[in-house]
Amino acid sequence: MKKVRFALPKGSLESATFDILSKAGYKLSGQERTYRPSINDPEIEPRILRPQEIPIYVAEGLQDLGITGLDWIKETNSDVEILLNLEYGVIKIVLAIPKPWNINSLSELIEKFWKEKKELRISTEYLNTTVSYLKSNIKYKNYYGDLDPLVVTPWWRIGNNPKVSVFLSFGATEAKPPETADAIVDVTETGTTLEQNNLKIIETICESTAYLIANKDSLKDKEKREKIYDILTLLKGVVDGRKKLHIFVNVSEVNLPELLKQLPALKRPTVSPLSEEGWYSVNTVIEKNIFIELLPKLRKLAQGLVVYEPRQVLSLDEIFSKEKGDKT
C-alpha cells in the first residue's frame, strides 16, 4: 500500500489547516509535540513543514500533497498541480514606506530616488516577487531598462543594478525602515502592524490564501491519485459547506408549484409527501448569501422552516469530472 505524503503548514496557517482537516473527518494527534503527527487514515503520512518549503518539496516529489499559501507557490515558482483554493489564510503582499514621505506609488518612489541619485533599498522575504514587481514597473523600465535589481543575501549577491537593492529579511521586516531600508515588501492581514511601525501601504502586490497542491507525477500514480482525490473531495466539501445552507420547509399542495417557481435557487429539491394529506416537505441546499433575499418568499409560501449549516457539501460529479480530465 502506497502512502500519500501530505505536507501541512507550520505557523500562521497551522490552526486553520488542522480545523479544516477536522471538519473533513480527519483526526490528527501529536502535532503539538512532533512534526510527524498521526492521522486516522493509514494511507496518509502527514508531515509539518514551513509553508515556504512546501511548494518546493511537492514540486520535487519529496511530498505528494501539500497545503501552503499562494504567495509561496508564486515566490518559489514551483511546478505543482493546484487542486483547490481552501479560502482561508487571507493575506496581502504590500509595498510600504515611512508615513511622513509624500509618496503614494512605486513609480513615485523610484522617481524620487532616481532624481536624488540615491540607492533604493527594499527589505523583504519575497525576493523573486519583489524583483518581478519592480521590473514590471514603467518607471523602473524607463530608468533602468532590463537591468535586474541587486539582490543581497548572507550567501550571495546577484543582479546588475546596484541603484535598486532588494535585501533578504529574516523577519520583523516592518522594523527595518528607515535606517536599514527605504521600503519593505511584506505580508499583512489588516495593516495594523505596519501602522504601528509608522509605515503606510502604497501598493498591494498580490493577495493570497491557502491552497491544496499536488506533485504532478504523484497524480499519474493510480493508487496515489485515488487517495489524493479522496482528500480533495473531503476538503472541497468543507469549503463548499461554508457557503451553503440546508433548508427544510413544509408547504401546502396549493403553494408547492409557486414555491418551486419563485425559488430558482432550489435546484433539484427533494419533495416528499407528509403524513397529513395535502402537505409536502421540501429540502434543498442553497447559497448562504441569498438566504436573506429568499426569506420573504419562504415566509409567504411555506411553514415550518428549518435551517442547517452543513459541515460538508460533496460535489462528487465535479470531482469526478476533474479527475477524469487529469487522467487524459
Q: Whole domain around residue 250: which residue ranges?
A: 244-308
Sign of CA dihedral 195, 103, 172, 11: positive
| Residue 183 sits in the same domain as residue 222 | no
**Mean pLDDT, residues 177-197:** 93
More confident residue, 257 or 163: 163
Q: Is residue 23 part of a domain?
A: yes
71 phi and psi, to 5 degrees? -60, -40
SS (H, E, C) the chain: CCCEEEEEECCCCHHHHHHHHHHCCCCEECCCCCCCCEECCCCEEEEEECCCCHHHHHHCCCCCEEEEEHHHHHHHCCCCEEEEECCCCCEEEEEEEECCCCCCCHHHHHHHHHHCCCCEEEEECCHHHHHHHHHCCHHHHHHHCCCCEEEECCCCEECCEEEEEEEECCCCHHHCCCCCCCEEEEEECCCHHHHHCCEEEEEEEEEECEEEEECCCHHHCHHHHHHHHHHHHHHHHHHHHCCEEEEEEEEECCCHHHHHHHCCCCCCCEEEECCCCCEEEEEEEEEHHHHHHHHHHHHHHCEEEEEECCCCCCCHHHHHHHHHHHHC
Q: Is residue 220 part of a domain?
A: yes
| Residue 286 sits in the same domain as residue 182 | no
Region of residue 304 (phi > 0: left; psi between -120 and 50: alpha; otherwise: beta): left
Q: pLDDT at residue 328 above 80?
A: no
Q: Is residue 324 part of a domain?
A: no
> Residue 129 sits in a domain of what CATH number?
3.40.190.10
CA angle, residues 92, 98, 101, in degrees to nearest 5: 120
Residue 327 is predicted with a pLDDT of 60
pLDDT bucket at 163, cuts 50 / 70 / 90: very high
Answer whether 7's CB lies under 8 Å from 54's CB: yes
| Residue 29 sits in the same domain as residue 56 | yes
Q: pLDDT at residue 28 above 60?
A: yes
| Residue 16 sits in the same domain as residue 60 | yes
Q: pLDDT at residue 186 above 70?
A: yes
| pLDDT tens, residue by residue, 48-80 | 999 999 999 999 999 999 999 999 999 999 999
Residue 299 is predicted with a pLDDT of 87
Q: pLDDT at residue 33 above 90?
A: no
Share of the chain above pLDDT 90, in %: 74
Tell me which of 199, 222, 241 is where a domain ends: 241
Q: Is residue 77 part of a domain?
A: yes
Q: Is residue 323 part of a domain?
A: no
Q: Is residue 318 part of a domain?
A: no
**Mean pLDDT, residues 288-306:** 87
**Mean pLDDT, residues 158-173:** 95
| Residue 80 sits in the same domain as residue 168 | no
Q: pLDDT at residue 31 above 90?
A: no
> Residue 276 sits in a domain of what CATH number?
3.30.70.120
Low-confidence winner among 130-144, 150-164, 196-210, 264-278 (lowest mean pLDDT): 264-278
More confident residue, 4 or 306: 4
**Mean pLDDT, residues 73-95:** 96
| Residue 229 sits in the same domain as residue 133 | no
Q: Is residue 164 part of a domain?
A: yes
| Residue 107 sits in the same domain as residue 201 | yes
| Residue 236 sits in the same domain as residue 250 | no
Answer whether 7's CB lies under 8 Å from 214's CB: no
User: Look-up: residue for cell 523610484?
Assistant: 110
Answer whether 302's CB lies under 8 Å from 258's CB: no
| pLDDT tens, residue by residue, 100-144 | 999 999 999 999 999 999 999 999 999 999 999 999 999 999 999
Q: pLDDT at residue 231 above 90?
A: yes
Query: What's this model's pTM, rounded to 2 decimal places?
Result: 0.87
| Residue 111 sits in the same domain as residue 44 | no
| Residue 169 sits in the same domain as residue 272 | no
Residue 202 is predicted with a pLDDT of 97
Q: pLDDT at residue 265 above 60?
A: no
| Residue 203 sits in the same domain as residue 213 | no
Q: Is residue 317 part of a domain?
A: no
**Mean pLDDT, residues 233-241:** 93
What are the cell numbers at 26? 480527519
| Residue 85 sits in the same domain as residue 214 | yes
Q: How far is CA 25 from CA 60, 111, 116, 208, 319, in A?
A: 29, 54, 60, 26, 18
Query: For the chain, how many structural domains are there in total?
Result: 3
Residue 294 is predicted with a pLDDT of 85
